[in-house]
Amino acid sequence: MTRYALRHATLYRYATPVDLATHLLHLAPRAVPGQTVRSATLAVSPATSFRRNGQDHFGNGVAWLSIEQPHDRLEVVLEAEVEVAFAPPPPPAETPPWEEVRRAADDLAGVEAVEFALPSPLAPADAGAGTYAAQSFPPGRPVLAGLLDLIARIRRDFAFRPGVTTISTPVSQVLTGRAGVCQDFAHLMIAGLRALGLPARYCSGYVRTRPPPGQQRRQGADQSHAWVGCWLGPHHGWVDLDPTNDLVVRDEHVLLGWGRDYADVSPVKGILLGGGRQALEVSVDLVEA
C-alpha cells in the first residue's frame, strides 16, 4: 500500500471580468477497491453562490457550482490523501479468449460493461484504430495477453509529445502523427478495443510525480493523467492499464473517476458570461506521504 498526498491546482485568468460562471467539476478521488480516500477537500475561489455535490451517471463524484460576482480569476484546488494498492491482475494465460469477452459484453453478465463497448464522441468507431489494435488480438488469444501487448506497442510506436495535439484532435490523426499525450493514447486504445467489440473505459487521475527509486520519471506527471480501464469478462472484471507508461496500474496512480472518454470526466467545465481571453495554469503534485 502506498500513501499519497495529492495537490491539483487549476487557475484560470480572464482578460475582462466574468459576470456569471457556472461550473461542473470532476475533481473527487473515487473510492474503489484498491483505493482508499483518507481525505479530500476542494477549494474554490472566489466564493461560490451555489454549490452542490453529487454523483454522475458513472458514479463519479461531481460538484456543481456557480460564481455570481464579477471575477477575473478562478482557482480550484483539490487536496487529498489517498492510499492505493490495486490488486494484481490475474495471470494473462488464465483470462478468457478475447472473443469470449466480446460475446459476454452483450450478455446479461456484461450489463456493466456494454456501455463501454459502444463508440463515444471522442473515442468513435475508428477503423484505423481497430486495425492497429487487432494486431495484438490474434484468434483465441487470452484477452489480458492481448491487452499487455497492445500497451507495450503503443508505448513503443508513439512519442509522448505535449503540444502537438489538443483535446479535440481525432484518434485518426493521432494514429497517423504517431505522437501525442496520455489522453490521446487512452482514446486511441479505447477506440481500437471498441472496434474489436471489447469494453474499455477512460480513467482520469494522476501518476506519481517522482518515480520509485531507480526508475525513470513517468510520462504525464505534473498534470492530469489518463489511462484505460479494460474489461476481462464477468469473472475477472476490470483491470486498469496505462498505455502512456506501459504499466499495469498498481500503486503509482491515483484515480479520480471514469467515463466513456475525456468529455465525461473533464476535471473543470464551465460556461461563462464575459471574460474575454483566458489563460490557464495547472499544477499537480502527487508525492508519497
Which spans of this chain sit near other proteins (rule: CB under 8 A)?
A: 12, 19-24, 49-50, 52, 54-58, 64, 66, 68, 106, 108, 110-111, 114-115, 117-118, 125, 264, 268-278, 280
Give the residue with the Cβ less far from other proteins, 16 or 283: 16
Give the residue with the Cβ less far from other proteins, 39 or 69: 69
Q: How far is the CB of 219 from other proteins (least distance, A)?
A: 23
Q: How far apart are CA 100 and CA 141, in angstroms?
A: 10
Strand partners, 47: none
Give the residue with the Cβ less far from other proteins, 30 or 218: 30
Q: Which residues contact 226 (CB under 8 A, 6 or more apart)?
A: 182, 183, 185, 186, 202, 203, 204, 205, 220, 244, 262
∠9-12-14 over CA atoms, to 5°? Answer: 165
Q: How far is the CB of 257 from other proteins (least distance, A)?
A: 13
DSSP one-letter code for 277: S
- Smallest Cα–Cα separation from 77: which of 283, 288, 287, 289? 283
Q: How far is the CB of 64 from other proteins (least distance, A)?
A: 5
Q: How far is the CB of 183 from other proteins (least distance, A)?
A: 14
Q: 175 in the Ramachandran plot: left (φ > 0), alpha (ψ -120 to 50) or beta?
A: alpha
Q: 113 in the Ramachandran plot: left (φ > 0), alpha (ψ -120 to 50) or beta?
A: alpha
Give the residue with the Cβ less far from other proteins, 68 or 99: 68
The phi and psi torsions of 116 (rounded to 5 degrees) equal -90, 0
Give the residue with the Cβ less far from other proteins, 205 or 267: 267
Give the residue with the Cβ less far from other proteins, 29 or 275: 275
Q: How far is the CB of 13 from other proteins (least distance, A)?
A: 12
Q: How far is the CB of 264 from other proteins (least distance, A)?
A: 7
